Amino acid sequence: MKFKWIRKCVSIFHGQLSRRTTEGRAESKEKMTSDLVFCTVCASNQNRSMEAHRLLKEAGFEVSSFGTGSAVRLPGPSVDKPVIYNFGTPYNDMYNELSSRDRKLYTSNGVLNMLDRNRQIKDHPERWHEHHKLFDVIFTCEERCFDAVCIDLMTRGAKLNRMVHVINVDIKDNREQAAIGGKAILSLASKLSTCRDVDSEIIAILADWQDENKTLPVLHQVCYF
């Protein structure tokens, strides 16, 4: 409490210095954020991974997103009748097709709004297993996606011997929870971006973050490219 009070006094009596210090820290943080390359992963690269992708991108982070499923599945007329697309199908094509098929249905269930957001971020959903990019931190949004990413990385054989932190933030696959989970992932990415050494500090940061997000169970695994 005393430290906070002293900081407040300094900002009052040395406003100009405080502003310069804040600007310096902002510049330093900007440099550090550019060093970490992030990735978000869910099953279909439609809802959870794309909301987190959007927030991280808007915050200035370098980020990509993927899905681990065999195909892209969207809510359809009923629970047992999903709309299925191949990975690589443009979000814009999905939007136009579903809009012409039943605009009222796909507006009411949120699919058109989701696709409209997605097509403003990138062209199409991408499958994790088909990419060749390197990342520092991979955020998965479901335990089965976490398992799929970890198993795939182990299967690749760690040929580059490059470390990557795979972190699962368990998020239910609906609009409301995707929004909450996306903000939580952004918060964690922001904490990691201020590290001097992510590899040595990540456990403490995850513990601190988990205290702030008790409803979002987290898993962590070190893997290699």
Q: What is the pLDDT along the chain (225 residues), one digit of tens a residue?
A: 333 332 332 332 233 333 333 344 344 344 344 589 999 999 999 999 999 999 999 999 999 999 999 999 999 999 899 999 999 999 999 999 999 999 999 999 999 999 999 999 999 999 999 998 999 999 999 999 999 999 999 999 999 999 999 999 999 999 999 999 999 999 999 999 999 999 999 999 999 999 999 999 899 999 999
What's the pTM?
0.84
Q: Is 14 within the bounds of a domain?
A: no
Residue 146 maps to a domain: yes
Residue type at position 58 = E
Q: How far apart are the C-alpha atoms of 180 and 188, rounded to whole Å? A: 13
Contacts of 151 (CB under 8 A, 6+ apart): none
pLDDT score at 34 = 54
**Amino acid letter at 124?**
H
Same domain, yes or no, for 53 and 83?
Answer: no
Q: Is the dihedral of CA 91, 93, 97, 100 positive or negative?
A: positive
Determine the pLDDT at residue 22: 38
Domain holding 107, by residue range, is 70-125
CA distance linking residue 200 with residue 14, whole number of Å: 35
| One domain, residues 136 and 168 | yes
pLDDT of residue 28: 39
- Pair 133, 205 in one domain: yes
- Domain for residue 61, yes or no? yes
**Are 58 and 146 part of one and the same domain?**
yes
C-alpha atoms less than 13 angstroms from C-alpha of 190 in its C-beta half-sphere: 16
What pLDDT, on the 0 to 100 scale, is given for residue 210? 95
Q: Which residues pair with 221 in a beta bridge?
A: 166
Q: Which residues are bridge partners to 39 per DSSP?
A: 64, 138
Measured in degrees and rounded to the nearest 5, phi and psi for residue 40 equal -120, 140
